Amino acid sequence: MELVNGEPLNSVLKRTGKLSLRHALDMLEQTGRALQVAHAAGLVHRDVKPGNILITPTGQVKITDFGIAKAVDAAPVTQTGMVMGTAQYIAPEQALGHDATPASDVYSLGVVGYESVSGKRPFTGDGALTVAMKHIKEPPPPLPNDVPPNVRELIEITLVKNPQLRYKSGGPFADAVAAVRAGRRPPRPSQTGRATPAAIPSSAPSRVAANPPAGCPPPPSTPATAGHRSPPPRRTFSSGQRALLWAAGVLGALAIIIAVLIVINSHEENIQPQQTTPTVTDTGPRPAPHPAGRPRAAVRLD
């Protein structure tokens, strides 16, 4: 382990209030180059702050205290949602408990730069939680008017809330600082690889309409309505839904059959008494019929 003879930047700022513009930009570029070495090795510092930046008597910058550094592709060593870092310099995504990336270190270094050229931190509060919430929700106050526009633009780019809109690692940030030191505007961060989900729905239908499969009729020329619901798609059912529909159909059919049987049975009960009521109860011998037109004779048996 190297023994560094130097003074922490927080001690320098406490003694001088702020750095000259020349020394501040030199410190930021050197720190960005040093962070790039760690980022290229797959490490994220996660606690970049003035207390971890040493300045030697010759003006060389050394980054210290990699105690909570984390490999980018390593398994988590903290609980989900645990916040690692110092509240005054923490990146918004770290304050939310998300994984830190090289862009998180760049944000923290941007806070260091803000403090170095202005003599004050962008966010202050009564406690660490209050300060962390300001990093998440509030934009940083404007830098003093005596800060050159290109330096102000550099710090503003570095302190955006969305890590995808910042410089991706220490190297691109250091290159931007070098451009500012040369009197130029800082280059915009590369947006390569950013997701653009809003462009997918609008472009996909046009490709399908422009190249229909061979043998298929062309789509109708009616204008598309909001939501693209003409014609409506045919509804499909899963196997579980088909089984439920089949069972419901069987139960419905059984209910209809039972209702019909009840009606028939009720109708038969109303008709049956008229058909089965006897009209003759005498079971004795019946007299022989008499020829039509002849008088009936009374026969007495002695």
Q: Which residues are catalytic?
A: 47
DSSP letters of 205-266?
Answer: HHHHHHSPPTTSPPPP-SPPPTT--SSPPPP---HHHHHHHHHHHHHHHHHHHHHHHHHHHH
User: What residues form DSSP beta bridges with 7?
Assistant: 55
Q: What SS3 class is residue 72?
A: coil
Residue 295's Cβ-count burial label (10 Å; 0-12, 13-18, 19+) is exposed
User: Which alpha helices (DSSP H) does 121-219 contain, by range?
Assistant: 128-137, 149-158, 170-181, 199-210
Token pair 């862009």: residue: 103
